[in-house]
Amino acid sequence: MDKVDGVIIGAGVVGLAVARALVTASPFGAREWMVLEATDAIGTGTSSRNSEVIHAGIYYPQGSLKAKLCVQGRVQLYDYLQTNGIAHKKCGKLIVATHESQVATLQAIQDKAHANGVDDLVHLDAQQAKSLEPALSCLAALHSPSTGIIDSHAYMLSLQGDFENAGGLVAFHASVESADCTPEGIVLHMADGTELMTQTLVNAAGLTAPWLAAKFNGLAKQYVPTAYFAKGNYFTLSGRSPFSRLIYPVPEAAGLGVHLTLDLGGQTKFGPDVQWVERPDDLAVSMAHEEAFYREVRKYWPDLPDSSLQPGYAGMRPKISAPHEVAADFCIQGPAQHGVKGLVNLFGIESPGLTSSLAIGEEVRKALEF
């Protein structure tokens, strides 16, 4: 049986950021690290199907890991992108109230942001908002200047490069089926029939992390949450957008509403919405939602032309709370919680996972007491 010092399961943005944090925390050459990825490339799961937004840390409950790691991670991420020359843009966003009942909510959002350490939000009246974005229709807005957009694939390639340059190895077509947590180490059983022993294991399998953890013999079942899946449909705009900033409506249950985002190439997309589904591979864009997209977008952009929306793509949020429950926090579950030496499970790492990725890496390192 082959043996290594540490394994990270999953080569999405979080898995790669964790891998980078762990390999750089180790004495160079003293530890052998691997990332095991079931598919043929990095970032093919949730990481390839998101909005590519760098979040400020506005919406999350005070004291939550989402709030803490988003705010920390945003600062770290902008610094990393700047240092490494990775394409990004701090374009800012407007959170808009489109009817009277939402205006008071803006103040609550600003208060929550302040409690999380986000102190740069600016309250705008309708005229001030329209002066920034003439095509916008709203009663009031919050301007978040520290929100941005990122080339997430270039970022992941850089994380992979950091990991490999420090001696780590990324293995593709390397699907883990189960594991045995023993006093001597954690034995991974691979889909191809081979076995691999490691002293440290990080389960960063994203959508399938709970399913995989349920197959870790030696991990008590009480520590494995139920997985839920919330699909987000995106539609793209055919034609030129009049907006230079991201536009977010006041948040709705389970998500942030149908927002307008931009990519670095200038493409405008709308979404994601929230559609609870049974399977993580249910990734076809739900065309039945098209009419709702027109209706929701026209609340803040009344002049959205007819027949201008095209089906884009769909992403999947790895939820660990049910539709009727309060949204769960990130779950970074280490030996202090479950008692299995060398094991960290990452559950429910949805948005703002991309923004938080470098901070999540540090949190995992702390959980393993490096």
Q: Which phi and psi angles does 203 have, rounded to 5°?
A: -90, 95
pLDDT in the model for residue 30: 56
Average pLDDT over every residue of 115-141: 98
pLDDT tens digits, 169-200: 999 999 999 999 999 999 999 999 999 999 99
Burial of 189 (0-12, 13-18, 19+ CB in 10 A): middle
Residues 48-51: contacts with CB under 8 Å, at least 24 apart: 48/153, 49/283, 49/313, 49/314, 49/315, 49/316, 50/152, 50/315, 50/351, 50/354, 51/234, 51/259, 51/261, 51/269, 51/271, 51/272, 51/351
CA distance 366 to 63: 18
Report the CATH fold assignment for 93-145+228-319: D-Amino Acid Oxidase; Chain A, domain 2 (3.30.9)
pLDDT in the model for residue 369: 82
Give the model's confidence band at 370: pLDDT under 50 very low, under 70 low, under 90 confident, else very high.
low
pLDDT tens digits, 227-248: 999 999 999 999 989 999 999 9
**Residue 31 predicted with pLDDT over 90:** no
The dihedral through the CA atoms of 329, 332, 336, 339 has a sign that is positive
For the packed helices 353-367 and 65-84, what is the interaxial angle rounded to 10 degrees?
A: 100
pLDDT in the model for residue 58: 96
Q: Within 13 Å, how many C-alpha atoms sit on residue 359's CB side?
A: 23
* 176 in Cβ contact with 189 (< 8 Å): yes
Average pLDDT over every residue of 252-256: 54
Q: What is the mean pLDDT of the chain?
A: 95
pLDDT in the model for residue 303: 97
**Residue 281 predicted with pLDDT over 80:** yes
**Residue 137 predicted with pLDDT over 60:** yes
**Residue 321 predicted with pLDDT over 70:** yes
End-to-end CA distance of the chain: 26
Average pLDDT over every residue of 320-340: 96
Neighbours of 336 (CB within 10 A): 9
**Residue 255 predicted with pLDDT over 80:** no
- Only one residue has tokens 């009031």, namely 140
Q: Which residues contact 230 (CB under 8 A, 6 or more apart)?
A: 254, 255, 274, 275, 276, 277, 316, 317, 319, 323
Question: Residue 253 corresponds to which tokens in the numbers above?
Answer: 């249950």
Give the model's confidence band at 253: pLDDT under 50 very low, under 70 low, under 90 confident, else very high.
low
pLDDT in the model for residue 192: 96
Q: Which amino acid is at 74?
A: R
pLDDT in the model for residue 251: 79
CA distance 299 to 154: 34
Give the model's confidence band at 168: pLDDT under 50 very low, under 70 low, under 90 confident, else very high.
very high
pLDDT tens digits, 37-96: 999 999 999 999 999 999 999 999 999 999 999 999 999 999 999 999 999 999 999 999
What proportion of the chain, given as a percentage, has pLDDT over 70?
A: 97
Give the model's confidence band at 258: pLDDT under 50 very low, under 70 low, under 90 confident, else very high.
confident
CA distance 111 to 1: 55
**Residue 315 predicted with pLDDT over 80:** yes
Q: Which amino acid is at 163?
A: F
CATH architecture for the domain at 2-48+153-225+327-367: 3-Layer(bba) Sandwich (3.50)
**Domain spans of the chain, in order of start:** 2-48+153-225+327-367, 93-145+228-319
Q: Which amino acid is at 6?
A: G
**Residue 257 predicted with pLDDT over 80:** no
Give the model's confidence band at 252: pLDDT under 50 very low, under 70 low, under 90 confident, else very high.
low
- Hey, is 176 helix, strand or coil? strand
Q: What angle do CA 7, 10, 12 make, to 5 degrees?
A: 130
Q: Which residues contact 95 (CB under 8 A, 6 or more apart)?
A: 58, 106, 109, 141, 142, 144, 248, 249, 250
The DSSP-derived string for 260-279 is EEE-TTS-EEE----EEES-
pLDDT tens digits, 339-356: 999 999 999 999 999 999
